[in-house]
Protein backbone atom coordinates (compact mmCIF):
# COMPACT_ATOMS: atom_id res chain seq x y z
CA UNK A 1 0.00 0.00 0.00
CA UNK A 2 1.47 3.34 -1.06
CA UNK A 3 1.24 6.59 0.95
CA UNK A 4 0.62 9.99 -0.65
CA UNK A 5 1.27 13.11 1.44
CA UNK A 6 0.15 15.82 -1.00
CA UNK A 7 1.91 18.61 -2.93
CA UNK A 8 2.19 21.93 -1.02
CA UNK A 9 3.28 23.90 -4.11
CA UNK A 10 0.76 23.17 -6.86
CA UNK A 11 -2.87 24.09 -6.22
CA UNK A 12 -5.28 22.07 -8.46
CA UNK A 13 -7.84 24.35 -10.06
CA UNK A 14 -10.40 21.53 -10.38
CA UNK A 15 -11.17 18.16 -8.82
CA UNK A 16 -11.62 15.26 -11.25
CA UNK A 17 -15.02 13.60 -11.40
CA UNK A 18 -15.24 10.00 -12.59
CA UNK A 19 -16.85 9.32 -15.96
CA UNK A 20 -19.12 6.34 -16.39
CA UNK A 21 -16.63 4.91 -18.88
CA UNK A 22 -13.58 5.12 -16.55
CA UNK A 23 -11.87 1.79 -15.89
CA UNK A 24 -11.08 1.03 -12.25
CA UNK A 25 -7.34 1.41 -11.67
CA UNK A 26 -5.36 1.93 -8.45
CA UNK A 27 -1.74 2.82 -7.91
CA UNK A 28 0.09 6.17 -7.88
CA UNK A 29 -1.25 7.17 -11.30
CA UNK A 30 -4.50 5.23 -11.22
CA UNK A 31 -7.71 7.01 -12.10
CA UNK A 32 -9.26 5.94 -8.77
CA UNK A 33 -6.69 7.99 -6.85
CA UNK A 34 -6.75 11.11 -9.05
CA UNK A 35 -9.48 13.11 -7.19
CA UNK A 36 -8.07 12.01 -3.82
CA UNK A 37 -4.61 13.26 -4.77
CA UNK A 38 -6.04 16.59 -6.00
CA UNK A 39 -7.89 17.10 -2.72
CA UNK A 40 -4.71 16.20 -0.79
CA UNK A 41 -2.72 18.72 -2.88
CA UNK A 42 -5.24 21.46 -2.04
CA UNK A 43 -5.06 20.59 1.66
CA UNK A 44 -1.25 20.69 1.71
CA UNK A 45 -1.20 23.96 -0.22
CA UNK A 46 -3.62 25.56 2.25
CA UNK A 47 -1.61 24.27 5.21
CA UNK A 48 1.60 25.63 3.70
CA UNK A 49 0.01 29.05 3.33
CA UNK A 50 -1.75 29.22 6.70
CA UNK A 51 -0.83 32.33 8.63
CA UNK A 52 0.65 34.02 5.57
CA UNK A 53 -0.76 37.37 6.68
CA UNK A 54 1.17 37.07 9.93
CA UNK A 55 4.35 36.91 7.86
CA UNK A 56 3.92 40.05 5.76
CA UNK A 57 7.42 41.39 5.53
CA UNK A 58 6.82 45.03 4.69
CA UNK A 59 4.52 47.68 3.27
CA UNK A 60 4.79 49.20 -0.22
CA UNK A 61 3.09 52.54 -0.92
CA UNK A 62 2.04 53.11 -4.53
CA UNK A 63 0.87 56.57 -5.62
CA UNK A 64 0.77 56.27 -9.40
CA UNK A 65 1.14 53.91 -12.35
CA UNK A 66 3.56 51.15 -11.36
CA UNK A 67 4.63 47.57 -11.88
CA UNK A 68 3.98 44.78 -9.37
CA UNK A 69 6.87 42.31 -9.36
CA UNK A 70 8.60 39.84 -7.06
CA UNK A 71 9.71 42.71 -4.79
CA UNK A 72 6.05 43.36 -3.96
CA UNK A 73 5.32 39.76 -3.01
CA UNK A 74 4.77 39.25 0.69
CA UNK A 75 4.27 42.99 1.24
CA UNK A 76 1.09 44.88 1.89
CA UNK A 77 0.80 46.95 -1.29
CA UNK A 78 -1.20 50.10 -0.52
CA UNK A 79 -2.26 51.88 -3.72
CA UNK A 80 -3.58 55.44 -3.84
CA UNK A 81 -5.54 56.85 -6.76
CA UNK A 82 -6.72 60.34 -7.65
CA UNK A 83 -8.03 59.55 -11.12
CA UNK A 84 -7.09 56.40 -13.04
CA UNK A 85 -4.08 54.39 -11.80
CA UNK A 86 -2.75 51.33 -13.64
CA UNK A 87 -0.77 48.62 -11.82
CA UNK A 88 0.78 45.95 -14.03
CA UNK A 89 1.67 42.50 -12.73
CA UNK A 90 4.91 40.89 -13.85
CA UNK A 91 4.75 37.38 -15.32
CA UNK A 92 3.68 34.86 -12.71
CA UNK A 93 6.78 32.74 -13.44
CA UNK A 94 8.98 35.58 -12.15
CA UNK A 95 7.41 35.25 -8.70
CA UNK A 96 8.18 32.44 -6.29
CA UNK A 97 5.61 29.76 -6.88
CA UNK A 98 2.77 30.37 -4.43
CA UNK A 99 3.89 33.93 -3.63
CA UNK A 100 1.19 36.05 -2.01
CA UNK A 101 0.49 39.58 -3.34
CA UNK A 102 -1.92 41.59 -1.11
CA UNK A 103 -3.22 44.91 -2.49
CA UNK A 104 -5.41 47.46 -0.70
CA UNK A 105 -6.87 50.56 -2.36
CA UNK A 106 -7.49 54.16 -1.34
CA UNK A 107 -9.29 56.16 -4.03
CA UNK A 108 -10.76 59.63 -4.16
CA UNK A 109 -14.34 59.91 -5.41
CA UNK A 110 -14.60 58.80 -9.03
CA UNK A 111 -11.15 57.18 -9.08
CA UNK A 112 -10.14 53.63 -9.94
CA UNK A 113 -7.12 51.33 -9.69
CA UNK A 114 -6.74 48.85 -12.55
CA UNK A 115 -4.73 45.68 -11.88
CA UNK A 116 -3.46 44.62 -15.34
CA UNK A 117 -1.70 41.38 -16.22
CA UNK A 118 -0.30 39.77 -19.40
CA UNK A 119 -1.44 36.42 -17.98
CA UNK A 120 -4.85 35.32 -16.73
CA UNK A 121 -6.06 36.20 -13.25
CA UNK A 122 -8.34 33.30 -12.34
CA UNK A 123 -11.25 34.49 -10.27
CA UNK A 124 -13.69 32.03 -8.62
CA UNK A 125 -16.63 34.27 -9.56
CA UNK A 126 -15.72 35.89 -12.88
CA UNK A 127 -13.40 33.28 -14.37
CA UNK A 128 -10.21 34.28 -16.21
CA UNK A 129 -9.61 38.03 -16.31
CA UNK A 130 -6.99 40.29 -17.87
CA UNK A 131 -7.78 43.20 -15.55
CA UNK A 132 -9.33 43.66 -12.10
CA UNK A 133 -10.74 47.01 -11.00
CA UNK A 134 -10.57 48.35 -7.45
CA UNK A 135 -12.32 51.34 -5.89
CA UNK A 136 -12.06 52.94 -2.45
CA UNK A 137 -11.14 50.78 0.56
CA UNK A 138 -11.13 47.42 -1.18
CA UNK A 139 -8.76 44.51 -0.66
CA UNK A 140 -7.38 41.93 -3.06
CA UNK A 141 -5.02 39.01 -2.40
CA UNK A 142 -3.45 37.22 -5.38
CA UNK A 143 -1.32 34.10 -5.41
CA UNK A 144 1.25 33.56 -8.19
CA UNK A 145 1.20 30.10 -9.73
CA UNK A 146 3.05 28.58 -12.70
CA UNK A 147 1.75 30.81 -15.50
CA UNK A 148 -1.26 32.58 -14.01
CA UNK A 149 -2.51 34.32 -10.88
CA UNK A 150 -5.38 33.17 -8.69
CA UNK A 151 -7.64 35.38 -6.60
CA UNK A 152 -7.24 34.15 -3.03
CA UNK A 153 -9.47 36.88 -1.55
CA UNK A 154 -11.36 39.89 -2.88
CA UNK A 155 -13.61 42.35 -1.07
CA UNK A 156 -17.28 41.41 -1.59
CA UNK A 157 -17.95 44.93 -2.93
CA UNK A 158 -15.88 44.05 -6.00
CA UNK A 159 -18.75 41.83 -7.19
CA UNK A 160 -21.78 44.05 -6.49
CA UNK A 161 -21.76 46.60 -9.32
CA UNK A 162 -25.35 47.41 -10.32
CA UNK A 163 -26.91 46.57 -6.97
CA UNK A 164 -29.18 49.29 -5.58
CA UNK A 165 -29.44 50.55 -2.02
CA UNK A 166 -31.46 53.29 -0.33
CA UNK A 167 -29.71 55.54 2.17
CA UNK A 168 -29.70 58.99 3.78
CA UNK A 169 -26.30 59.93 2.32
CA UNK A 170 -24.14 58.89 -0.62
CA UNK A 171 -22.35 55.74 0.51
CA UNK A 172 -18.85 54.60 -0.38
CA UNK A 173 -18.52 53.45 -4.01
CA UNK A 174 -22.06 54.43 -4.99
CA UNK A 175 -23.66 56.97 -7.32
CA UNK A 176 -27.02 58.75 -6.92
CA UNK A 177 -29.67 58.06 -9.54
CA UNK A 178 -29.87 61.73 -10.56
CA UNK A 179 -29.77 61.44 -14.34
CA UNK A 180 -26.15 62.53 -14.68
CA UNK A 181 -23.50 61.18 -17.04
CA UNK A 182 -20.67 59.08 -15.61
CA UNK A 183 -17.27 58.19 -17.02
CA UNK A 184 -16.97 54.57 -18.15
CA UNK A 185 -13.22 54.51 -17.53
CA UNK A 186 -13.58 55.72 -13.93
CA UNK A 187 -16.49 53.36 -13.17
CA UNK A 188 -15.56 50.30 -15.25
CA UNK A 189 -17.39 47.72 -13.14
CA UNK A 190 -20.69 49.61 -13.37
CA UNK A 191 -20.16 50.27 -17.08
CA UNK A 192 -19.54 46.56 -17.69
CA UNK A 193 -22.71 45.64 -15.79
CA UNK A 194 -24.82 48.16 -17.73
CA UNK A 195 -23.53 47.11 -21.14
CA UNK A 196 -23.57 43.35 -20.49
CA UNK A 197 -26.64 42.88 -18.30
CA UNK A 198 -29.15 45.47 -19.56
CA UNK A 199 -31.05 45.16 -22.83
CA UNK A 200 -30.96 48.08 -25.26
CA UNK A 201 -34.45 49.41 -25.92
CA UNK A 202 -35.67 48.15 -22.55
CA UNK A 203 -33.62 48.99 -19.42
CA UNK A 204 -31.02 50.80 -21.58
CA UNK A 205 -32.07 53.45 -24.11
CA UNK A 206 -30.56 56.06 -26.39
CA UNK A 207 -29.92 59.63 -25.32
CA UNK A 208 -32.52 60.81 -27.84
CA UNK A 209 -35.21 58.54 -26.38
CA UNK A 210 -34.29 59.53 -22.80
CA UNK A 211 -34.71 63.23 -23.63
CA UNK A 212 -37.83 62.76 -25.77
CA UNK A 213 -40.11 62.98 -22.75
CA UNK A 214 -39.61 64.59 -19.32
CA UNK A 215 -40.62 61.42 -17.44
CA UNK A 216 -41.32 58.41 -19.69
CA UNK A 217 -37.76 57.07 -20.11
CA UNK A 218 -35.96 58.89 -17.33
CA UNK A 219 -35.85 55.76 -15.14
CA UNK A 220 -33.57 54.00 -17.65
CA UNK A 221 -29.83 54.06 -18.23
CA UNK A 222 -28.61 55.51 -21.53
CA UNK A 223 -25.63 54.70 -23.74
CA UNK A 224 -24.33 58.23 -23.14
CA UNK A 225 -22.10 59.42 -25.95
CA UNK A 226 -21.64 55.85 -27.14
CA UNK A 227 -17.97 55.53 -26.20
CA UNK A 228 -16.75 57.18 -23.00
CA UNK A 229 -19.88 57.91 -20.95
CA UNK A 230 -23.13 56.36 -19.79
CA UNK A 231 -26.10 58.11 -18.20
CA UNK A 232 -27.68 57.20 -14.88
CA UNK A 233 -31.46 56.97 -14.44
CA UNK A 234 -33.13 59.99 -12.86
CA UNK A 235 -35.20 58.70 -9.93
CA UNK A 236 -35.44 61.95 -7.99
CA UNK A 237 -38.93 62.40 -6.57
CA UNK A 238 -40.05 58.93 -7.70
CA UNK A 239 -41.29 55.88 -5.81
CA UNK A 240 -40.71 52.20 -6.59
CA UNK A 241 -43.27 49.65 -7.74
CA UNK A 242 -42.63 46.02 -8.62
CA UNK A 243 -43.07 45.12 -12.29
CA UNK A 244 -46.30 43.29 -13.13
CA UNK A 245 -44.58 40.61 -15.29
CA UNK A 246 -47.88 39.46 -16.74
CA UNK A 247 -49.85 39.23 -13.51
CA UNK A 248 -52.50 41.62 -14.83
CA UNK A 249 -52.68 44.12 -11.96
CA UNK A 250 -50.46 46.92 -13.26
CA UNK A 251 -51.53 47.19 -16.91
CA UNK A 252 -51.01 50.89 -17.59
CA UNK A 253 -47.20 51.08 -17.63
CA UNK A 254 -46.21 52.29 -21.10
CA UNK A 255 -42.62 51.00 -20.84
CA UNK A 256 -43.01 47.62 -19.04
CA UNK A 257 -39.33 47.12 -18.18
CA UNK A 258 -37.15 47.91 -15.19
CA UNK A 259 -36.91 51.69 -15.13
CA UNK A 260 -40.19 52.19 -17.00
CA UNK A 261 -42.28 55.15 -15.85
CA UNK A 262 -45.94 55.08 -14.79
CA UNK A 263 -47.86 58.29 -14.07
CA UNK A 264 -49.84 58.84 -10.89
CA UNK A 265 -53.61 58.32 -11.09
CA UNK A 266 -56.76 57.73 -9.04
CA UNK A 267 -58.88 54.64 -9.49
CA UNK A 268 -62.40 55.37 -10.78
CA UNK A 269 -64.67 55.91 -7.76
CA UNK A 270 -67.42 58.04 -6.22
CA UNK A 271 -67.74 59.75 -2.83
CA UNK A 272 -70.34 59.74 -0.07
CA UNK A 273 -70.52 62.91 2.04
CA UNK A 274 -73.03 64.11 4.60
CA UNK A 275 -75.65 66.72 3.74
CA UNK A 276 -74.82 70.13 5.13
CA UNK A 277 -77.36 72.06 7.19
CA UNK A 278 -78.31 75.47 5.82
CA UNK A 279 -77.72 74.59 2.18
CA UNK A 280 -80.74 74.81 -0.08
CA UNK A 281 -80.45 71.51 -1.89
CA UNK A 282 -83.06 72.63 -4.42
CA UNK A 283 -80.43 74.98 -5.80
CA UNK A 284 -78.52 71.91 -6.91
CA UNK A 285 -80.86 69.62 -8.85
CA UNK A 286 -79.83 65.99 -8.82
CA UNK A 287 -81.28 63.22 -10.94
CA UNK A 288 -81.36 59.71 -9.55
CA UNK A 289 -79.96 57.97 -12.59
CA UNK A 290 -79.69 54.18 -12.59
CA UNK A 291 -77.51 53.88 -9.50
CA UNK A 292 -79.68 52.43 -6.68
CA UNK A 293 -77.39 54.06 -4.12
CA UNK A 294 -78.10 57.58 -5.43
CA UNK A 295 -80.26 59.94 -3.38
CA UNK A 296 -82.52 62.94 -3.95
CA UNK A 297 -80.59 65.06 -1.49
CA UNK A 298 -77.40 66.74 -2.50
CA UNK A 299 -74.18 65.97 -0.68
CA UNK A 300 -72.35 68.53 1.35
CA UNK A 301 -70.63 71.28 -0.63
CA UNK A 302 -67.62 73.08 0.78
CA UNK A 303 -68.44 76.65 -0.20
CA UNK A 304 -65.26 78.59 -0.91
CA UNK A 305 -65.11 82.37 -0.92
CA UNK A 306 -62.33 82.39 -3.52
CA UNK A 307 -62.51 81.00 -7.03
CA UNK A 308 -65.91 79.99 -8.33
CA UNK A 309 -67.54 79.24 -11.65
CA UNK A 310 -69.59 76.55 -13.30
CA UNK A 311 -68.42 73.10 -12.18
CA UNK A 312 -69.57 69.56 -12.96
CA UNK A 313 -69.60 67.13 -10.04
CA UNK A 314 -70.23 63.41 -9.84
CA UNK A 315 -72.54 62.15 -7.11
CA UNK A 316 -73.44 58.45 -6.97
CA UNK A 317 -72.83 58.12 -10.67
CA UNK A 318 -74.94 61.21 -11.51
CA UNK A 319 -73.67 64.45 -13.05
CA UNK A 320 -74.59 67.55 -11.07
CA UNK A 321 -74.21 71.08 -12.33
CA UNK A 322 -73.75 73.75 -9.69
CA UNK A 323 -72.63 77.35 -9.39
CA UNK A 324 -70.56 76.38 -6.41
CA UNK A 325 -67.16 77.64 -5.35
CA UNK A 326 -64.15 75.78 -6.67
CA UNK A 327 -61.90 73.75 -4.46
CA UNK A 328 -58.45 72.85 -5.74
CA UNK A 329 -57.68 70.22 -3.11
CA UNK A 330 -59.26 67.92 -0.57
CA UNK A 331 -60.55 68.82 2.87
CA UNK A 332 -58.95 66.90 5.76
CA UNK A 333 -60.04 67.86 9.29
CA UNK A 334 -61.19 71.19 7.99
CA UNK A 335 -57.89 71.97 6.23
CA UNK A 336 -57.53 72.00 2.47
CA UNK A 337 -54.55 70.04 1.11
CA UNK A 338 -53.46 71.19 -2.31
CA UNK A 339 -50.91 69.46 -4.56
CA UNK A 340 -50.04 68.90 -8.20
CA UNK A 341 -49.96 65.12 -7.66
CA UNK A 342 -51.48 62.35 -5.57
CA UNK A 343 -49.13 61.75 -2.63
CA UNK A 344 -48.94 59.09 0.03
CA UNK A 345 -47.17 59.59 3.34
CA UNK A 346 -43.48 59.05 2.74
CA UNK A 347 -39.93 59.54 3.98
CA UNK A 348 -37.29 60.88 1.61
CA UNK A 349 -34.26 58.70 0.79
CA UNK A 350 -31.50 58.57 -1.81
CA UNK A 351 -31.59 55.74 -4.32
CA UNK A 352 -27.99 54.66 -4.97
CA UNK A 353 -26.30 52.23 -7.33
CA UNK A 354 -23.07 50.46 -6.43
CA UNK A 355 -20.08 50.68 -8.72
Is 155 in the same domain as 188? no
Is 145 in the same domain as 168? no
pLDDT surpasses 50 at 182: yes
**What band does 254 get if pLDDT is binned at 50, 70 and 90?**
confident
Q: Is residue 58 part of a domain?
A: yes
**What mean pLDDT is predicted for residues 90-104?**
93
Is 115 in the same domain as 193? no
Q: Is residue 342 part of a domain?
A: yes
Is 301 in the same domain as 194? yes
Average pLDDT, the chain: 81
Is 130 in the same domain as 153? yes
Q: Label residue 279 exposed, middle or buried (CB < 10 Å: 0-12, 13-18, 19+).
A: middle
Is 93 in the same domain as 137? yes
Domain that holds residue 348: 161-327+338-355
Q: How many domains does the chain have?
A: 2
Q: Is residue 320 part of a domain?
A: yes
Q: Is residue 180 part of a domain?
A: yes
Is 204 in the same domain as 345? yes
Is 194 in the same domain as 252? yes
More confidently predicted of 30 and 201? 201
**What mean pLDDT is predicted for residues 180-207?**
97
Is 117 in the same domain as 176? no
pLDDT surpasses 90 at 344: no
d(C-alpha 4, C-alpha 13), whole Å: 19
Strand arrangement, sheet containing 181-183? 181-183, 229-231, 221-222, 204-205
Is 170 in the same domain as 154? no
pLDDT surpasses 70 at 287: no
Among 159, 178, 201, the domain boundary falls at 159
**What band does 291 get if pLDDT is binned at 50, 70 and 90?**
very low
Chain segment 147-177, per-residue pLDDT in tens: 999 999 999 999 999 999 999 999 999 999 9
Q: Give the Cβ contact number of residue 234 at 10 Å.
A: 19
**What mean pLDDT is predicted for residues 84-107?**
95
Q: What is the pTM of this model?
A: 0.70
* Residue in 274, 338, 269, 268 with CA at minimum distance from that of residue 301: 274
Among 159, 186, 211, the domain boundary falls at 159
Which pLDDT does position 289 carry in this prediction? 42
Is 142 in the same domain as 173? no
Amino acid sequence: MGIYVGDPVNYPANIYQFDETDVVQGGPNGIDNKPLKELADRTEWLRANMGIFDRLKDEALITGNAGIDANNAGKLNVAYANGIVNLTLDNASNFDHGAIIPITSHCTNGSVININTPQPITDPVDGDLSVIHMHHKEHLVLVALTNYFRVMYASPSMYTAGEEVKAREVLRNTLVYDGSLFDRARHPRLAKWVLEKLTFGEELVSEAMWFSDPTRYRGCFTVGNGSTTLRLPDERGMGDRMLDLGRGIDISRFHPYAGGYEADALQTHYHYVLAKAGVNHNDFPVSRGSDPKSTNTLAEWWNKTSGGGKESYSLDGTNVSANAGKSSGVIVNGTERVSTETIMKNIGKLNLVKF
